[in-house]
Structure 1
Amino acid sequence: MKYLIGSILIIVLAFSACSQKSVEYGTKGALAGGVGSAFVGALTDIVLDGKINSSTLTRNLVSGAIAGATTGAIVGSNSKKETKKVESKPTEELMYKEKIGSENYTALNHLVECRNNVSYRITIKTESSQNKDYKLAAYAIQALNDKDRKNEIGITQSINKFIALSDKIRTKDTAKIELDKLYSKLLNERRVRGIICNNN
């Protein structure tokens, strides 16, 4: 009986350790896979639809989290092969790059990581694109950068350029409302990643 109880305890402890590790990797994967797509999805909504679509964001967040959690759990259960694993770019990420432009996508990442000057310089280049959506995305990211740095004049200039080109957003008040929503997504992205900027 003593040996039986001992064997059961060993099995329970081993299972708990394994489960804890899977949850740990899964949580990290969920955060990495979900938050970014929600933020980029919000920007894409503004460019294409003129407003942030809550149902779209929820779908992006959930699908990204599930994919991230699955990947994380697999990595956790197969940690010895981590260094050999070559991660493929998610289809969702490629879709967003196609919608707003890969350079704007890069600019967005720089913005999240507090590299405002780098982010803004990239959008100066992309705003000369022949692709209307790329130009709109560039203006939106410029507005985010200016809001991040509390540059009211810059925000107004970026909003004016966006309104002049957009078929969906026609007033400054509407643009500011959507900008505030998008900026809250930026701050949330930073909170999840543990990023603190000096200008916030």
Structure 2
Amino acid sequence: MSETTRTPPGVHTLGTLTTVPVTERYDLVGAAVAELLRGWEHAADVGVVEIDAAHSETAATVDVYGVPLDAGANCVVIAGKREGEERIAACVVRGDTRADVNNRVKRLLDVRKCSFLDHDRAVAETGMEYGGITPVGVPASWRLLVDARVPSTGLVLIGSGVRGSKLILPGRLLAELPGAEVVEGLAG
């Protein structure tokens, strides 16, 4: 009779990366990320893994750690104005796609023109490092738009709020983040 070994919650492997449960290593994630995760019902299913900060960009992570491009997810921050009111959204798309900023995101924000939020401002407002910005823990006043392909992806690798680590979690959980809106055609 053989025993079946079950992987503990929060332990995931993508490419050559294997996580530890984030609930055991909040020191590896940004402060805003840790704050959200400490109160999130799905935190036990989230893993974190240390990486070389020089390889935190999606393309580098794919090359160095063998993570499939479609398992990576990018979080880009988009801003626009309408009648003097600024509207900001964190947009989550798979690594093999790009956010449709000039059409789909612009219409969702209901603005005439939108662009990527200034780098320094994105860092300041999220409390996260550039290259580590993640949908986990973005400001509650921002919209959180998740491309519909992301939740249907098995495991997803995303930022952790810092460049020296990554989160790996089931893609379906990104749709469960507070305020998340799953959007068809967010990316092309």
TM-score range, shorter chain: under 0.3
TM-score normalized by the length of structure 2: 0.27
Higher strand fraction (1 or 2): 2
Higher helix fraction (1 or 2): 1
Larger radius of gyration: 1
TM-score normalized by the length of structure 1: 0.26
Where relative contact order (Cα < 8 A, 6+ residues apart) is larger, the structure is 2
